[in-house]
Structure 1
Amino acid sequence: MNTIKTDVAIIGAGSAGLSAYRAAKAAGAAAILIEGGAHGTTCARVGCMPSKLLIAAAEAAHHAMHTDAFGVHIEGTVRIDGREVMARVKSERDRFVGFVVAGVDAMPGADKLSGYARFIDDNLLQVGEHTRVHAKSVVIATGSSPVMPAMYRALGNRAVVNDDVFSWDDLPKRVAVIGAGVIGLELGQALARLGVRVSVLGARGRVGPLTDPEVRNYAERVFSEAFRFEPRAQVQAAVRDVDEVRLRYVSGADELVEDTFDYVLVAAGRKPNVAGLALHNTSLELDANGLPVYDASTLQAGAHPVFIAGDANGVLPLLHEAADEGRGAGTNAARYPNVEPVERRAPISIAFTDPGIAMVGARHVDLTAESFVTGEVSFEDQGRSRVMLRNRGLMHVYVDRASRRFVGAEWIGPEAEHIAHLLAWALQMKLTIDEMLRMPFYHPVVEEGLRTALREAEVKLR
């Protein structure tokens, strides 16, 4: 049995783990990066990048099919070749993965260890059956995995998760998407635009991450026009019949629906990958879900030399958050017991649907009634949006009554991803609505819609 001693052991070589490794080394610590699976990060292999490649193909198809209103007529039919679509998705995905793998390959060989790690005690890890690692501190950065409820596991390979979609060689004809969160909406709309008959079935009325009732209701209407969207469906049965799946569910309108699909794409959330870590061998306090109880400001588990970062803590499963947390966890692990709060940026989340969905800062559901005013804009009559024939959307911005500071926003609309960055910067700079309105707005751009919403909020504050 090989034995290694190090200052910091990082379990997991994803976005958080790689960031933690670099931070620990920058702080002057000896560090070992442990990975039992394939290198390449969730984002590059099965998340951000391949999903955006599929969405880009879907947008190309959609635009090609909707040119008549501009007086531009495409003679004949637009043909979507599913094999070519998936070939590009996989080829470009592999290119992005290659960049990450190349970075790992460039690390010193002594700093990398292959195998699945499990705890023997707080400072001792067993890696595979070949190595034990004594570490002064440990960073858990094991990421997360899609949840697959038992009803759908019984369907065998006819039930897939987003990871599986990006290994398809061709596009299927019929797909039921279970879950109306960001992943479900993004992939459901992309597949629908690529000619797949799609039904997106949620259970709790969710429409992506939205919590503002008016914005959520607007978004529900928009997506219901694009594909079959049932955000309040109750699935009663899922039965495999050779290479098909028969679903029976009750819709939000209390209608019993029976339908047949080639695949069921389960997008019902993700869970942290901690089951194989043998955390019961440690002195860490675990919550009801078996996760270490930790300080969200420092990422430290109790007073122990263990830190948890990225998707593994189940809080903010976003690449930029994972990278930030990894950096903070790696630095604190290297400097333990002298730990400091991790620097947090303004909250920002985006769904790459069309229209796009974005949220910045405080969610509507988290704000105290009467403590804020809401500014609103509809993008249906907004100038640039109408020029592009992308005039669907509703935005709400929230402004604190006492300080007049911008505190958050939720919306669906064109160019949402770009407006989200402007608002996130404004929030992080703690700008008031008055300071934001003094900023330049060009004409004609969709950002003028943001100015309209801010002006309405300003009037309400008078």
Structure 2
Amino acid sequence: MKSIQIDVAVIGAGTAGLAAYRAAKAAGKSVVMIEGGEYGTTCARVGCMPSKLLIAAAEAAHEARHTAPFGVHIDGEVRIDGHEVMARVRNERDRFVGFVVASVDGIPQADRLRGYARFIDNTTLQVDDHTLVQAARVVIATGSSPNVPPPFLALGERLIVNDDVFSWDTLPQSVAVFGPGVIGLELGQALSRLGVRVRVFGVSGSLGPLSDPAIRDYAYATFSREFYLDTHAKVGRMSEVDGQAELVFVDKGGIERSERFDYVLLATGRTPNVRGLGLENTGLALDARGVPLFDASTLQCGDSPIFIAGDANNILPLLHEAADEGKVAGENAAHYPKVLPLRRRAPIAVVFSDPQIAMVGQRFADLAPGSFVVGEVSFEDQGRSRVMLKNRGLMHVYADVQSGRFLGAEWLGPRAENIAHTLAWAYQMELTVAQMLEMPFYHPVVEEGLRTALRDAQAKLAG
């Protein structure tokens, strides 16, 4: 077994790991990046990009079926070729992964170490059975994996996670989705629009990332009209029968049903990849999941020279957050014991459903009652939205009653991904509602709906 000495060891070559490597390298330190799995980030390989490819196919099918209200009639049936759909998903996915792999290939070979790392002590790592790494500091950037609760294991090979979807050769006939969060909602709707029989089950009443009850109720009613959705599901027996998943559940009408599905897609969250790292050998305090306790601003684990970034810490499992965290973790590791806090950007979340869901700034659930007003707009009669027949949606914006500052927003509606960026900039600049209303709004655009909500908030602030 060979031994190497290094200033900074980065465990993981995903988004956070790559950012940490580059930051530590830019600080003039010797760095090694350790990766045991395939190169290519979660986003590119099994997350953001392949899911959007599947959604794009679903949107094309949906739009083709709904041209008649415009007076445009397509003769014949809209035919979906599952093999072609999945071939494009895989081909384009591989193209995106290729870009990431190419960027890793651009890193000097001496700075890359293949294998799985395990802590021997705080600053000694053993990589498989071939290398001991003596590092002055370590960055953990090992990402996360889908969480699989034990009861679902009874489904055997019929149980899949979102990672598996993008390896399909064709589309199945039926899928039951557990977890109406971001992943479950996006993939459930997309599969339904592509002709797959879909049922989406939840147990806590939650839907996507929404915390505003009015917006959540509107979203539930909207999606329930398109596919089966039960956010308070009562599911009993689950088993694998004759090559299918059999579920016994009580439907929304109170009737017990037994149905079979080709697959059960589990989208009930992700777990940090820390098992097998040997963290028990570091002396660090660990939480119930085995993740080191760390400072969320500096990403430092206790007062040790160990830092944790990206999905592995599970603060905000988003690509841009992982990149920011990786950079700060790498810089702090390079300059340890001097560490600086991360200045987080405005919170922003988007669900690429149709209508889209978005959240910016502070959540409704986190605001103190009586400390804010709510500005509202319905997109059902909003001009541009009706022109496009995309007029499904409801928005709430929140403003501080004392200062008038814009605090956040939750909504469902057309082009939410674009409006979310405008609001995130306003939040980060700490603008008031009055200042936001001084900004230009072109006509006719969907953003005029945002202006209506801001005007409603301003009227309530003045009252």
Q: TM-score, normalised by structure 2?
A: 0.99
Q: Do the aligned partners of 1:300 and 1:308 also contact (CA within 8 Å) in 2? A: yes
| Matches of 2:231 and 2:251, distance apart in 1 | 8
Q: How does 1:108-147 map to 2 (within 5 A)?
A: 108-147=108-147
Cross-structure match for 2:60: 60
Instruction: Identify unmatched segments of 5+ residues in structure 2.
Output: none
* Superposed CA offset, 1:371-420 (max 9, x none): 10000000000000000001000000000111111010000000000000
Q: How does 1:381-400 map to 2 (within 5 A)?
A: 381-400=381-400
| Matches of 2:33 and 2:389, distance apart in 1 | 49
Q: How does 1:322-361 map to 2 (within 5 A)?
A: 322-361=322-361
* Superposed CA offset, 1:106-162 (max 9, x none): 110110000000100000000010001011110000000001122222222210000
Shift of 1:255: 3.3
Cross-structure match for 2:308: 308
| Matches of 1:336 and 1:274, distance apart in 2 | 23
Shift of 1:28: 1.1
Q: Does 1:9 align with 2:9?
A: yes
Shift of 1:256: 2.1
* Superposed CA offset, 1:424-448 (max 9, x none): 0000111111110000000000000
Deviates more, 1:418-427 or 1:232-241: 232-241
Q: Does 1:78 align with 2:78?
A: yes
Cross-structure match for 1:49: 49
| Matches of 1:317 and 1:184, distance apart in 2 | 16
| Matches of 2:240 and 2:371, distance apart in 1 | 52
Look up the equivalent residue of 2:180 and give its one-letter code: A
| Matches of 2:236 and 2:18, distance apart in 1 | 42
Look up the equivalent residue of 2:296 and give its one-letter code: A
Cross-structure match for 1:197: 197
Q: Do the aligned partners of 1:231 and 1:252 also contact (CA within 8 Å) in 2? A: no
Cross-structure match for 1:271: 271
Cross-structure match for 1:319: 319
Shift of 1:250: 2.6
| Matches of 1:90 and 1:82, distance apart in 2 | 12
Shift of 1:243: 1.5
Q: Do the aligned partners of 1:35 and 1:115 also contact (CA within 8 Å) in 2? A: yes
Say which SS state the counterpart of residue 154 (structure 1) adopts. Answer: helix
Cross-structure match for 1:417: 417
Look up the equivalent residue of 1:186 and give its one-letter code: E
* Superposed CA offset, 1:323-380 (max 9, x none): 0000010000000001000121000000000000000010000000001000000000
| Matches of 1:87 and 1:129, distance apart in 2 | 38
Q: Do the aligned partners of 1:347 and 1:424 also contact (CA within 8 Å) in 2? A: yes
* Superposed CA offset, 1:1-41 (max 9, x none): 11111111000000100011011111111111000000001
Shift of 1:89: 0.2
| Matches of 1:253 and 1:21, distance apart in 2 | 54
Q: Do the aligned partners of 1:17 and 1:141 also contact (CA within 8 Å) in 2? A: yes
Instruction: Identify unmatched segments of 5+ residues in structure 1.
Output: none
* Superposed CA offset, 1:235-293 (max 9, x none): 21111112111101234554323211110000011000001101000121111221100
| Matches of 1:114 and 1:155, distance apart in 2 | 34
Q: Do the aligned partners of 1:118 and 1:278 also contact (CA within 8 Å) in 2? A: yes
Say which SS state the counterpart of residue 276 (structure 2) adopts. Answer: helix
Cross-structure match for 1:372: 372
Look up the equivalent residue of 1:377 and give its one-letter code: V
Look up the equivalent residue of 1:203 and give its one-letter code: V
Distance 1:6 1:259, change over 3 A: same
Cross-structure match for 2:37: 37
Deviates more, 1:234-243 or 1:398-407: 234-243
* Superposed CA offset, 1:74-117 (max 9, x none): 00111000000000000000000000000101110110000000
Deviates more, 1:9-18 or 1:152-161: 152-161
Cross-structure match for 2:164: 164
| Matches of 1:153 and 1:432, distance apart in 2 | 51
Q: Do the aligned partners of 1:179 and 1:268 also contact (CA within 8 Å) in 2? A: yes
| Matches of 1:251 and 1:114, distance apart in 2 | 49
Task: Tell me the matched-pair count.
Answer: 462
Q: Do the aligned partners of 1:176 and 1:264 also contact (CA within 8 Å) in 2? A: yes
Q: Does 1:184 align with 2:184?
A: yes
Cross-structure match for 1:22: 22
Q: Do the aligned partners of 1:232 and 1:251 also contact (CA within 8 Å) in 2? A: no
| Matches of 1:458 and 1:328, distance apart in 2 | 38
Q: How does 1:67-106 map to 2 (within 5 A)?
A: 67-106=67-106
* Superposed CA offset, 1:305-334 (max 9, x none): 000000000111100000000001000000
Look up the equivalent residue of 1:222 and give its one-letter code: T
| Matches of 1:219 and 1:291, distance apart in 2 | 34
Look up the equivalent residue of 2:395 and give its one-letter code: M
| Matches of 1:124 and 1:154, distance apart in 2 | 40
Cross-structure match for 1:289: 289
Q: What is the Cα-based RMSD across aligned positions, in Å?
A: 0.8
Q: Do the aligned partners of 1:211 and 1:365 also contact (CA within 8 Å) in 2? A: yes
Say which SS state the counterpart of residue 399 (structure 1) adopts. Answer: strand
Runs of 4+ displaced beyond 3 Å? 251-255
Q: Does 1:238 align with 2:209?
A: no
